[in-house]
A and B are shown apart, each in its own frame.
Chain A
Amino acid sequence: MNIVVCIKVTPKIEQIKFDEVKKTIVREGVENEINDADKNALEAALKLKESAGGKVTVLSMGPPSFESFLKLAVAMGADDAVLLSDRAFGGADTFATSRVLAAGIERLKPFDLVMCGEASSDGSTEQVPPSIAGWLGIPHVSYVSEIGMSGEKLRARREITDGHEVVEVTLPVLASVQLGCNSPRFPDFRRKRWADKEFKLRVLTNQDLAFAPSDVGLEGSRTEVTGLSRMRSPERRKEFIQGTEDEVVRRLVEIVRS
């Protein structure tokens, strides 16, 4: 079982800010973390590896400074890590990002399963996982909360409105998992030391992937953010209603009627 887990390094949620002029997410001068849903994807992959055997490789696209986050994923239990890093990849939207990630995954062939978090905490488009599956020409199972093997097939539980669905799908497949569907393990202390000191991250640049510059990064992007506005919650009365249950019910009935 060869599993590739795509992880995105995002600003810590409380530090997500937007540049209202450039209409982009501010990525300088903020502390980063591995996107939470991607940690859930990694945890699900590690559990599957424990039961089915195989190898887990984490893959990310970003600047060389993301190395420490890939090493953190290795300390959590990933066997290998690959960073796709090139100035040409910068400024990419979901179209160009998924294209580069798919090319990185192609380099990790043969793979059986690609796993992603369902969405990033910063961009939240949910477009990258299905787009990667599209570039790779493999099926995509979304809203996944549990995975396991059923013979040669992947069995996945999908959370849907009013319940859940269990699907079986032939490999290779891409599964995007729900935020919070499991509790990601903490990095193992000894493994962390090994990851920091001895583990060698593989870095692939555009020399390796050989894209035309117009196919990747800002130039290869199809999305243009034309407007950005801040949502402010409207002022509310915040009036507490007190009294016996009957009094409260009577007052609420009056409010609904008014």
Chain B
Amino acid sequence: METVVAVNSDPNAEIFKHADYCVVGDAKKLVPKVVSELGASGGSGQ
């Protein structure tokens, strides 16, 4: 099954009830960092 990661600045966001991993924060800052980390080490491409 797929894994759902939710990033939202609101700790009570509805999406957190439907996610496997929850991060309270700014998705616009966080996601590019994760993507670049994955790219830098030649992510699995999946």
- Do A and B interact with each other, yes or no? yes
**Residue picked from B1, B24, B30, B37, most chain A C-beta under 10 Å:** B37
Q: Using a CB–CB distance below 8 Å, which chain A residues touch chain B?
A: 233-234, 236-241, 245, 248-250, 252-253, 255-257
Smallest beta-carbon distance A235→chain B, Å = 10
Report B12-46 residues with CB < 8 Å from chain A CB.
Answer: 16-25, 29-30, 33-34, 37-38, 43-44
Q: Using a CB–CB distance below 8 Å, which chain B residues touch chain A?
A: 1, 3-5, 16-25, 29-30, 33-34, 37-38, 43-44
Q: Residues of B contacting A236 with CB < 8 Å? A: 4, 17-20
Q: Residues of A contacting B16 with CB < 8 Å? A: 238, 240
The answer for the CA separation of A50 and B20 in the assembled complex, in Å, is 51
The answer for the CA separation of A258 and B19 in the assembled complex, in Å, is 16
Q: Are B30 and A256 in contact (CB under 8 A)?
A: no
Q: Are A249 and B33 in contact (CB under 8 A)?
A: yes
Closest to B3 in A: A255
Closest to A258 in B: B3
Smallest beta-carbon distance A28→chain B, Å = 30
